Amino acid sequence: MESTVKTDSKGRKKVLNACTEPCAIEKGMRLIGGKWKGSIIYHLKDEPVRFNDLTRMLGGASKKMVDQRLKELEQEGMVLRKVISDRPVAVTYELTMFGQSALSILEQLRIWSESHQIN
């Protein structure tokens, strides 16, 4: 339901149908809008990637930050963690079908950002 603002005869404004919980856009932004989350999803778009390689791809993100965001994305069902070796420990990360469903949104965001030269 869409919110509307109505003005009464005395010029006072009242909101009808105000949001009582986060809207769909806010819920979506919570999933992919966290620092580095969109970039992580984007870098996993083609194939599984090992942790250290992903950290290198992200450049400015610390290993701790990448680990934290990967855990969040895994809990949200967007990323799958696979152990490929126990000794030494080696894992890869890949997108789930749910994670892949965000790629078109991120691609549109990338295009929009580049076309408006957003810094």
Give residue limits of the domains in the chain. Answer: 37-119
Q: At the top level of CATH, which class does the domain 37-119 belong to?
A: mainly alpha
With cut-offs at 50, 70 and 90, classify the pLDDT of residue 10: confident
27 contacts: CB under 8 Å, gap ≥ 6: none
Q: How far apart are CA 95 and CA 76, in angstroms?
A: 11
Calculate Rg over the CA atoms of the chain.
20
Q: Pairing relation of β-strands 4-7 and 90-95?
A: unpaired
| Dist CA 22 CA 17 (whole Å) | 13
Residue 26 vs residue 58, higher pLDDT = 58
Mean pLDDT, rounded, of the chain:
90
